[in-house]
Amino acid sequence: MADASGALKQIVETLIDRFEKLHELLLAEREALRNRDAEALESANASVRESLEEISRIDQRRQRLTIDMAHVLGLSGGVPSMGDLARKLGEKSGFMALREQLRTAIDAAQKANRENQAAFRGVQTATEAVMEVIRSGGTPQTSGYGRTGAKATAGAFHTFSKQL
């Protein structure tokens, strides 16, 4: 059991490290997007993909080892969580602290990823708007306010009387 416990700790520590590196990669991806550096963005995207693939492989090993340890400890009911193992092994095992470190690293990476996705959507929306103007060959319709104060859509700044 001590060997399995040590191996699981090592795997979790590796996962923590990989999620922290993923967070750094996501920040680099955001910076590349902010700077509109297509080459750096492509490189960052490839690095993020490779990092996620590696995390997936490591997590599969963690799951297998967790299931094996759960059987030895007498835990039943599917794949046990790190919390289940930590409670069964006790506070001195150090698994609760590792679990919290892992959760913090995952949360930071997820937050950075959500922010990057929002930025990507914003850039995509702006690009699509520019492309629509180019395709239509005209001036974009502008929103303005009519004489009564109601919002109105009109072309090229003719929102008030043409007599002005």
Give residues with Cβ within 8 angstroms of 84, minimum separation 6: 70, 75
Tell me, what's the pLDDT at 93? 80
Calpha distance 23→18 (Å, rounded) = 9
Q: Where are the domains of the chain?
A: 2-135
- Give me the count of residues in the chain: 164
| Residue range 28-79, pLDDT digits in tens | 999 999 898 999 999 999 999 999 999 999 999 998 998 888 888 887 777 7
Q: In which band, very low, low, confident or very high, does the pLDDT at 15 lie, cut at 50, 70 and 90?
A: very high
Tokens matching residue 93: 């095992």
Closest by CA position to 5, among listed 79, 65, 71, 91: 65
Average pLDDT of the residues of the chain:
83
Tell me, what's the pLDDT at 164? 38
Mean pLDDT for the stretch of residues 102-109? 96
Backbone torsions φ then ψ of 143, nearest 5 degrees: -90, 140
Calpha distance 106→112 (Å, rounded) = 10
Helix (H) or strand (E) holding 154: strand 151-154
Coil, helix or strand for 151?
strand
Look at the domain 2-135 and name its fold.
Answer: Methane Monooxygenase Hydroxylase; Chain G, domain 1 (1.20.58)
Tell me, what's the pLDDT at 89? 80
pLDDT at 149 over 70: no
pLDDT at 154 over 80: no
Give residues with Cβ within 8 angstroms of 16, minimum separation 6: 98, 101, 102, 105
Residue indicated by tokens 């963690």: 62
SS (H, E, C) 62-99: HHHHHHHHHHHHCCCCCCCCHHHHHHHHCHHHCHHHHH
Calpha distance 19→43 (Å, rounded) = 18
Tell me, what's the pLDDT at 47? 96
Q: In which band, very low, low, confident or very high, does the pLDDT at 153 lie, cut at 50, 70 and 90?
A: low
Q: In which band, very low, low, confident or very high, does the pLDDT at 129 lie, cut at 50, 70 and 90?
A: confident
Give residues with Cβ within 8 angstroms of 101, minimum separation 6: 16
